[in-house]
Amino acid sequence: MILTDYPWYFVLFCLLAGAAYATVLYFAGRNTFCRGWRWALAALRFLSVSAIAFLLLAPMSKQTVNERQKPHVVLAQDISGSVRMSADSSFSLEKLIADLEASCRVSYVPFGTEGSTDIGAVLDRYRNDDVAAFVLASDGLHNRGDNPTSVAEHLSFHIHCIALGDTTVQRDAWLANLRCNRIAMLSSTFPVEVTVNATLLRDANTRLSIHNNDGKLLHTQAVAYNDDDFSATYTISLPADAPGLQRYTISLAPVSGETSLSNNTLSVYIDVIDSRRKVVLFANAPHPDLAALKGAIESNPNYAVEVVMAADAESGKWKAGDDVSMAVLHNLPSRNHPSVAYANALPTISIVGLQTDLARFNALHSGMEIVAKVQRSNEVTALHQTDFTLFTLDEADITALEALPPLSAPFGEARLTADIQTLFSARLGNIDTRQPLVAATAQGEQRRAWIWGEGLWHWRLADWQSHESHNHVDHLVGQLVSFTAMQIDRNRLQVEAERTYAEGEPIVLRAVLYNENYEAVNNADVTLTVEGADYTFRRDAGGYSLTLPPLDEGLYHYRATANGQTAEGTFAVEAMNLEQQRLGADHTLLATLSTLTGGTLYSASDLRPLTSLLKTLKPTIYTHTRYAEFLRLPLILALILLLLAAEWVIRKYLGEL
């Protein structure tokens, strides 16, 4: 078929052009050719000119082409740990591949690892491919990923299964289905649920034990196998008594005659978080606000409050520990206690009250300065400021806080640095003074917040009287404490790593390096040391990345360095013992997959019927349309040259050029 973008009658114009050219050349003027040769030469010129004019229309030819391809056969072989431990560990598909190569396109796909098998994933990989037949050689032990039968329901090809392994029930016991939360809070307990299975061990007795990182025994209990097909689930509470990534090992004492002992032990890694932060409340003197603040802060179980008198802090009776997250200064500095050097290294919330020495308070250069010409106080209430963005309060909290009785605030004018935001301004009667009542800032080395006024105990009492709870005041104090105590990571080298990785899988880490202006750069090498081995991060657009080779099960500590900066951390590699939990093959799954897709289940000892079946697969015929421009067809160009050459030869022969 010939196609062109122009209307069909343009072909007539091409013919007319050829006829006009031939007429003018051979019939309009005088020439010496006889009538017969004149018509012959005119015909040649008509054809060549018409053909050239037709090519100017950019014609194309449309052809339907059929291509035959050999049928595509996928051979997927299970090489997981359970197959390697079976009698079929030496099974190979090499002969089947050799027999099929002449008649089929064969794709050999090994799958499975020493620790797990994901049959669903290898099936799903060819969901959208043109596969004539899929051969699955496996023991049917699927223990990871999507259910293979669910995947097979959406496949368009037949699955022929080769049954590997032994379905005979063996004398063995194993730990299965370990379930627990991977995060626990320090000084709490967390549950671990473990299932113990056993076959052909009736009347045998054993013990289930759990040990921590240091090998300390945390739990032990007797287990009696009272059935040949025994299964029992035990829920055990374990203490989270040390922070960080902790390893807990669950073990089952062996019984005489067990087939395998490698499945009697499981390890799990729990990230124990020390989220309980310590807040020190420094006070100028005893005051009802201290109990109110302590109660409000400790309403959040993640915080603990220690009340310290300024005199004890100054005399050295109290010393700061590494567990202190922030300080609250109540009426400090004061005339009696002018120094607050003990809190200089901590984020602080300052309660500016009637005993606060404003001159010494201003000398702290905290960002807020209060200028007072007379010594008196104001009774002020709270008025919310909508442009505060550092954290949020519920509308119910804001409404309740604005209705609370006034606080007693020292008289004066506040001068704030530009980075301080006001959450509540002070309202004197019905007048908004625009002076801060509650304010905070996130700038600087430590975060800071201020409450300009004392009498918080009045607020908490009034909140209870109005709402039968302290929630609204506690929410305000809690937000201030959470915001101020938030740790700011000033380390200019940061490494991102997962807390746990699966054994046998690549371990990917990422790093970010900042310059002194805290801009991300990658102009220096970042090196990583893990258990004595050194690696170098690869630079990429987002910073740095590093893929470590697969590591054995265990707890690993790493240390990264770059430009004098260091970053340290810990990650765990968990053993994948899923293949060791069941020793007997599951040919029922293979039979289901074959039946569901119209395939057949074959024995590994005789593959001749399968080979014969696959050899009868018919080739696939692909039909597609091909378009070709006439200008690119050598035959058309050769024909035009032949017409012009024939005309030239005849004219030469007749003696006129």
Q: Could you list the mean pLDDT of each consecutive 10-residue stretch along the chain, which spans 657 residues?
A: 80 86 77 77 85 84 78 87 69 86 88 78 87 87 80 90 81 84 81 90 92 90 91 90 88 87 85 81 95 92 89 83 85 93 89 94 92 85 92 91 94 91 92 92 85 95 93 94 77 86 84 82 91 91 86 90 90 72 74 90 87 86 76 81 84 68
Tell me the CATH number of domain 71-168+584-618, given options 3.90.1170.50, 3.30.930.10, 3.40.50.410, 3.10.310.30.
3.40.50.410
Say yes or no: do domains 71-168+584-618 and 172-271 share a fold. no
- Among 333, 372, 337, which residue's Cα sits nearest to residue 353? 333
Q: Residue 160 has what pLDDT? A: 93
Could you give phi then psi for residue 614, rounded to 5 degrees? -70, -30
Q: Which CATH architecture has domain 277-485?
A: 3-Layer(aba) Sandwich (3.40)
Identity of the amino acid at 471: N
Q: Which CATH architecture has domain 172-271?
A: Sandwich (2.60)
Alpha-carbon gap, residue 353 to 409, rounded angstroms: 6
Six-digit token string for 501: 């990785």
Six-digit token string for 376: 């008196």
Q: Which CATH architecture has domain 493-574?
A: Sandwich (2.60)
Alpha-carbon gap, residue 311 to 284, rounded angstroms: 8
pLDDT in tens, 227-275: 988 999 999 999 988 888 899 999 999 998 888 787 888 888 888 877 6
For the chain, domain boundaries: 2-65+626-654, 71-168+584-618, 172-271, 277-485, 493-574
Give strand pairing partners of 636.
none
Global pTM value: 0.54
Six-digit token string for 491: 């380390």
Six-digit token string for 523: 């102009």
Q: Residue 49 has what pLDDT? A: 86
Q: Residue 514 has what pLDDT? A: 86
Compute and round to an integer the Cα radius of gyration of the chain. 43
Alpha-carbon gap, residue 542 to 508, rounded angstroms: 14
CB 391 within 8 A of CB 441: no
